[in-house]
Chains A and B, each alone.
Chain A
């Protein structure tokens, strides 16, 4: 089981890597979204907010999300650190993402562009 702090660190690493990628920021200028990340086995909620291509991280929930990512703490930390590919836990039901199909695909594209295969 990962800790809340570890999930926070994984999301910070993810946000930092996103912010270093100028191309990704330009590509997402028109994709303003709120993503809620929630762990199922510990008390841990974070919000990623993408506005005008800039990604920011907050602890807790803030506003109605466009996407909700729900999984156990281990999977969440591993996915946002880029240690595992999100498709496998998604296909075996460990990771749930609620939102429109287009938004889910776009989030996966971003993870792929940051962490590669």
Chain B
């Protein structure tokens, strides 16, 4: 039966693109440009986008096969086993949350500190996190239509300012197909993947659309739009401002806007950075707090995280915990200035997950061959195998180029593995001992069931 409220393709595209576009995306865009020669960043960005199409195809097949908001948690559990699913899901949440919150808050604090130098950077982070935490505790969400407006406005603005800047400097591609050595291109593409991180977080919406294929279509359209927008904007940034100036700034988009439109451009960009970061923080806290709540409900995290506000129906313990995690992550980033490591970390983690999604498609085609697939990738095993191979290569490239990222990733992986193997069994055992011995369902009915 048709649900009362269903999402449109417009909202699916906006959600996929919106979850991807963060203020930190532009830092990654400049890193991409820095790995390649001249003004050829667009090549790496378009390749990165095209590779994400492969991953999107794999996500689409899995999403059609197992339509659920649980996402990779269920895909990996069916394709591999429960332990792998749990370890990867927890690690993915941990790395992406710390990475995105760390970089995003760092950029935001630097930008606002530049606009209002009298107020210290960290104060801005505290205020911003308190605002978003307050909104989440009260259950206030940025309305779907407003979210659509922010995302589409941002896309239009980036394209317009990019084209305007290119026209202003009379831009011509000098050596359009000479991006430099293979290592530089591989690293550029690997970091370029960070530009698209989050496009797949739209798959939980499968339970709110009329047709599963809408999610696949929405993801593909979003990736296409983002590839073009990022390519134009990045080439424009490097055409107007020297790369060494951009790479030295935590907010290259602000430097660029000032260079093109003066103080007016800078003011406009500050507003956009604020809106983008607010949207990213808000969406992040909503998703992760719900993930923590659901994990506590299945006794994977301590039960305290399933506590609910009696007034607003929100998982308040999870939200407040995230507030403190955010404070620590952003404080450490501000203290060490190592925000670029976090970009590499998030890019590597996403590549690992995308490679595993390719493996999951292969595994599930063998384990569930008869199951109906509303979306089946054409070309047999070619796309999933390419996905596994390419994203493994990209993850290795990022981690070998940045040893700090490799170190942090290894520590996070070992910690998650130890947690899953020691703490989770204890939590489950504790729950089993607390569970009422007698079932509420009448005994007669239970006997009948057992007899069948």
Which residues of A line the B interface, CB within 8 A?
A: 1-3, 6, 9-10, 13, 23, 27, 34, 36, 61, 64-68, 74, 77-78, 81-83, 85, 87-88, 90-93, 96-102, 104-106, 108-109, 112-113, 117
Contact = CB atoms under 8 A, between A and B. Distances in A.
B341 to A, nearest CB: 32
Contact of B449 (A1, A13, A87): A1
A3 B69 CA distance: 28
Listed from nearest, the 3 A-B pairs whose CB atoms lie closest are: A87-B297, A87-B298, A81-B441
A100 B5 contact: yes
> By CB atoms of chain A within 10 A, which of B2, B78, B441 has the most?
B441
A64 B294 contact: no
B208 A82 contact: no
Given A6-B445, A117-B303, A117-B434, 18 more contacts: A2-B449, A3-B445, A13-B440, A27-B313, A64-B3, A66-B4, A77-B445, A83-B439, A88-B298, A90-B68, A91-B73, A93-B68, A93-B78, A97-B207, A98-B207, A98-B208, A102-B141, A109-B313
B63 interface: no
B68 A96 contact: yes
Given A2-B445, A83-B441, A105-B293, A96 B67 contact: yes
A67 B395 CA distance: 40
Interface residues of B, number: 39
A91 B291 CA distance: 11
Contacts of A113: 308
B446 to A, nearest CB: 9
B70 interface: yes
Interface in B430-452: 431, 434, 439-442, 445, 449, 452
B298 A64 contact: no
B294 A91 contact: yes
B306 interface: yes
A64 B69 contact: no
> By CB atoms of chain B within 10 A, which of A6, A68, A92 has the most?
A92
B207 A64 contact: no
B248 interface: no
Contacts of B77: 91-92
14 contacts: A1-B449, A23-B310, A68-B1, A68-B3, A90-B68, A93-B70, A97-B207, A99-B208, A101-B204, A101-B207, A101-B290, A105-B290, A112-B297, A117-B306
B74 interface: yes
Interface in B1-51: 1-5
A90 B441 contact: no
A47 to B, nearest CB: 10
A97 to B, nearest CB: 7
Contacts of A99: 3, 5, 207-208
Interface in B63-82: 66-70, 73-74, 77-78
A101 to B, nearest CB: 6
A99 B344 CA distance: 36
Given A83-B439, A85-B298, A92-B77, A65 B3 contact: yes
Contacts of A78: 441
A33 B310 CA distance: 19
A64 B297 contact: no
Nearest to A73: B449
B33 to A, nearest CB: 37
B297 A66 contact: no
Contacts of A1: 449, 452
A90 B70 contact: yes
Contact of B441 (A6, A87, A101): A6
A100 B452 CA distance: 36
B306 A65 contact: no
B298 A10 contact: no
Given A13-B440, A91-B294, A65 B1 contact: yes
B449 A34 contact: no
Contacts of A90: 68, 70
A64 B66 CA distance: 24
A99 B310 CA distance: 22
B290 A10 contact: no
Contacts of B439: 81, 83
Contacts of A64: 1-4
Given A66-B5, A117-B303, A93 B66 contact: yes
A65 B4 contact: yes
Contacts of B294: 87, 91
A56 B67 CA distance: 29
A68 B3 CA distance: 8
A101 B208 contact: yes
A67 B4 CA distance: 8
Given A27-B313, A92-B77, A109-B313, A98 B3 contact: yes
> By CB atoms of chain A within 10 A, which of B3, B74, B306 has the most?
B3
A9 B448 CA distance: 15
Contacts of A100: 5, 208
A13 B308 CA distance: 23
